[in-house]
């Protein structure tokens, strides 16, 4: 059962920070990820939004949460997809009145050690609404991807920057820090993408709302355990959604 929102008076106390991880069959990666997140952000909470993974990812998270109140778990029993899970994490952050939401992949492709730096950037300037961990700005890099994945990612991001006019160079990565009040202003439940296109759609909606975005360089590592959820059919579906977004602009 999810906890009741805790009221926070403006200007009182430190920022309430939530880290979100959307998972499906990440039982081999999640224990290390959780430990590393809490090592660098010991006062943050972490919500795992799991799509009822058959490998026991959700069960592990529920068991861990018994002994660590910072860990929250949402099991989506009748739904699957990164878009829906991400929207659920957004809504949880809003409902529970967090100040900042940090999001990262559950496969250890993002280093949790980058989270404090991204949070610090957002906290330093109240005008910043989104901090994007970027593979493609100066200083960013990708390690371990085959040429096909590199080309596909570059094409998607060039489309998002050139056609959707998004103001960051890495629009398809999920390592981000959001100001929760800004997320609330766009009503995440109205986002339509259920797959990977959610990553571009939320930036598009935030940009339309006047949100300020900045990038910080990060290194992205290809997963070493488990299987990628970005199948060919999902890539095609996401590409169609991006084209639809462009036509509706």
Q: Long-range contact list for 154-160, CB < 8 A, 24+ apart? A: 156/200, 156/238, 156/239, 156/242, 159/242, 159/246, 160/200, 160/203, 160/242
Lowest mean pLDDT among 5-9, 166-170, 229-233: 5-9
pLDDT in tens, 69-107: 999 999 999 888 999 999 999 999 999 999 999 999 999
pTM: 0.85
- Tell me: pLDDT of 243 over 80: no
CB 6 within 8 A of CB 96: yes
**pLDDT at 7 (0 to 100):** 38
In the CATH hierarchy, which fold is given to the domain comprising 17-248?
Spore Coat Polysaccharide Biosynthesis Protein SpsA; Chain A (3.90.550)
pLDDT averaged over every residue in the chain: 87
**pLDDT at 236 (0 to 100):** 55
Tell me the domain boundaries of the chain.
Answer: 17-248
- Tell me: pLDDT of 148 over 90: no
The proportion of the chain whose per-residue pLDDT surpasses 90, expressed as a percent, equals 66
- Selection from 68, 66, 27 nearest residue 50 by Cα: 27
- Tell me: pLDDT of 143 over 60: yes
């Amino acid at each position: 059962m999810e906890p009741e929102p805790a009221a926070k008076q403006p200007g009182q106390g430190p920022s309430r920070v939530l880290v979100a991880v959307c998972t499906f069959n990440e039982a081999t990666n999640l224990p290390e990820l959780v430990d590393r997140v809490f090592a660098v952000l010991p006062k943050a909470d972490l919500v795992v939004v799991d799509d009822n993974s058959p490998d026991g990812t959700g069960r592990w998270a529920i068991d861990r949460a018994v002994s660590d109140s910072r860990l929250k778990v949402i099991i989506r029993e009748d739904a699957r997809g990164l878009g829906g899970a991400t929207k659920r994490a957004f809504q949880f952050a809003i409902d529970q009145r967090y100040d900042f939401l940090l999001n990262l992949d559950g496969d250890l492709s993002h280093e949790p050690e980058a989270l404090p730096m991204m949070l610090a950037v957002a906290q330093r300037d109240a005008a910043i609404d989104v901090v994007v961990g970027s593979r493609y700005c100066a200083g960013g890099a990708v390690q371990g991807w085959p040429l096909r994945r590199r080309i596909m990612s570059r094409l998607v991001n060039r489309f998002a920057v050139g056609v959707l006019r998004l103001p960051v160079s890495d629009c398809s990565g999920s390592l981000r820090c959001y100001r929760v009040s800004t997320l609330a202003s766009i009503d995440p439940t109205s986002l339509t993408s259920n797959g990977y296109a959610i990553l571009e759609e939320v930036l598009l909606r935030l940009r339309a709302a006047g949100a300020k975005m900045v990038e910080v360089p990060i290194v992205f590592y290809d997963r070493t355990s488990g299987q990628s959820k970005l199948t060919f059919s999902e890539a095609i579906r996401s590409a169609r959604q991006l084209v639809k977004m462009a036509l509706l602009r």
